[in-house]
Structure 1
Amino acid sequence: MGKGGDELLRVEVLGPHHDRSGFESGIEPLDRYFRTQASQDAKKNMAAPFVLVLPDRAIGGYYTLSSTALKLAELPAQATRKLPRYPSVPATLIGRLAVDRRHQGKGYGRFLLADALYRALRSEIAAFAVIVDAKDENARRFYERESFLPLPDQPMKLFRPMGDIEKLFK
């Protein structure tokens, strides 16, 4: 739970009682996914969707988490110096993150990101980093402001090492 202004905010696992029909972030693929695919991905264990529930019970935003892997060769050399030479390393993927356009500019994106990072850190499943695929330049800049680093050959794919995330919550 957290506070945004004077209002109490909650992040919950997406359930059938959450009304997704009016959600509109302004990015059609993210909106379509949330309205039509998110619950199916949850049922099939493809992704874990989480929703930001506002005091009036409206959904202010959402994100998804799932496990993934990164090829060791994709990471910058300085990030892999102390890692075993496995072909790939485990990671947590924030597959999607969006805020309803009526609530953009209120810090809810950062709130959702912090919640996602905390859940990834608390997980009992090993992960070297949290990964995001920025959908556009605005998203890339958002993640870079939050200390995510671009992969050398894929600037729209960014990562933040779990060791760094752990320091956030100490």
Structure 2
Amino acid sequence: MLMAAAAYEIRWLNPSDASAFQTLRLAGLRASPSAFGSSYEEEKDRALALIEARLAPSPDQGVLGAFAGGQLVGMLGIRRQDGLKTRHRMALWGVYVAPAFRGQGIAQALLARAVAFARQVPGAVQIHLSVNAANASAIRLYEQAGFHAYGTEPAALLVDGALHDELLMQHRLHPAAGPVA
């Protein structure tokens, strides 16, 4: 269900948002450890300067934030792959909406903005992501946004002694596109 866009604002984060980003990211890592490849323990002492650098504007990557009443309540990262043979691929990472703000269309709005951004990146053909294979609501969200599963990575994450499979998904930005020259 989508709520009116006036209920929240979606915009690109910048270095001045580093503290709010770190607070929300750490909350997500703590609340949903099996939803992320990183961990709270790995990121809790990360220097703010590193986060500021991560949020610096770039033409082929960034972090979108959803704000409600001036508070960062949702986020999504997208970046182009670095390798010469993989630069046609964008990677979606770090998708999280605070529990109190779920069900308001925020994740859908973040995804729509990320897909629109990726379509504007020269040479980008597809977006890839991985999602916990047991997270049915997240999988449904991605499917509704045009992502399709293409495989499963068994035992991709080990969280608190439990193995978690990851579903690998992709979204073709230009469905009729053939090989990229």
Normalising by the smaller structure, the TM-score range is 0.5 to 0.7
Give the distance between the partners of 1:44 and 1:105, measured in 2 at CA.
29
Give the distance between the partners of 2:22 and 2:93, measured in 1 at CA.
20
Q: What is the 5 A alignment of 1:1-170? A: 4-5=3-4, 7-18=6-17, 19-20=20-21, 22-23=23-24, 24-25=27-28, 26-28=31-33, 29=36, 32=40, 36=46, 38-43=51-56, 48-54=62-68, 56-68=69-81, 90-123=88-121, 125-138=122-135, 139-152=138-151, 154=153, 156-164=167-175
Cα separation, partners in 2 of 1:162 and 1:35, compared to 1, 3 Å? farther
Secondary structure of 1:4's aligned partner:
coil
Unaligned runs of 5+ in 2: 154-165, 176-181
Unaligned runs of 5+ in 1: 71-86, 165-170
Counterpart contact for 1:12–1:52, Cα < 8 Å: yes
Q: Normalised by the size of structure 1, how large is the TM-score? A: 0.66
- 1:69 Cα deviation (Å)? 7.4
What is the aligned-residue RMSD (CA, Å)? Answer: 3.5
Instruction: Encode CA deviations 1:10-64: one digit per residue, 9 max, x unaligned.
Output: 222223443346523432457846995643433597952121122x101120111
